[in-house]
């Protein structure tokens, strides 16, 4: 679908990426088109799957989750997707990646303390289909966060 977006659609997406709460009126003013046109285009972008949702971006230390680590996971055959769905419900799970090689999944945990980290790890290990895990705590960051 993205190859069929015209410049106005691309501009709307760009504005929403910068400020997902920007009003339709302000977008219309910025783009020089009517509010009705902006509304119709946003509805089209949502229904076609170009825009899949809206999120709140919070500052990195907002939740004060200073303990971070990676959990490498092997799953039982055909249970990877259901495991991912279950792990998304664990608040300390911040990222889930599928991988190739020895591990099926790489999961990042962010917790406020080691006890919370351990609790999240226990929840992951209880997810149906999780067979093996290997956990590595992240000690320090040398670039970015």
Report pLDDT digits (tens) over 32-77.
999 999 999 999 999 999 999 988 877 766 666 789 999 999 999 9
Are residues 104 and 41 part of one domain?
no
The backbone torsions φ and ψ at residue 51, rounded to the nearest 5 degrees and listed phi first, read: -95, 120
Residue 76 and residue 36 share a domain: no
Residue 1 has pLDDT above 60, yes or no: no
Residue with tokens 């501009």: 11
Whether 119 maps to a domain, the answer reads yes
pLDDT number for residue 23: 94
Residue 55 lies inside a defined structural domain of this protein: no
Tell me how many domains the chain contains.
Answer: 2
Identify whether residues 35 and 74 lie together within a single domain: no
Give the range of the structural domain holding residue 99, as residue numbers without chain letter. Answer: 67-138
The residues near 135 (Cβ < 8 Å, ≥ 6 apart) are: 69, 70, 71, 72, 121
pLDDT score for 34: 96
Asked if residue 23 and residue 80 are part of one domain, the reply reads: no
């Amino acid at each position: 679908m993205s190859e069929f977006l015209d410049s106005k659609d691309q501009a709307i997406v760009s504005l929403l990426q910068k400020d997902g709460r920007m009003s339709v009126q302000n977008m219309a003013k910025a783009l020089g088109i009517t509010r009705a046109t902006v509304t119709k285009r946003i509805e089209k972008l949502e229904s076609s799957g170009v825009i899949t949702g809206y999120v709140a971006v919070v500052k990195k230390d907002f939740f004060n989750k200073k303990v971070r680590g990676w959990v490498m996971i092997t799953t039982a055959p055909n249970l990877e997707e259901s495991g991912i769905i279950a792990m998304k419900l664990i608040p300390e799970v911040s990222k889930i990646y599928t991988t190739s090689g020895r591990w099926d999944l790489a999961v990042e945990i962010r917790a406020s303390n080691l006890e919370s980290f351990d609790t999240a790890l226990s929840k992951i290990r209880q997810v149906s289909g999780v067979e093996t895990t290997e956990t590595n705590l992240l000690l320090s960051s040398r670039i970015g966060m």
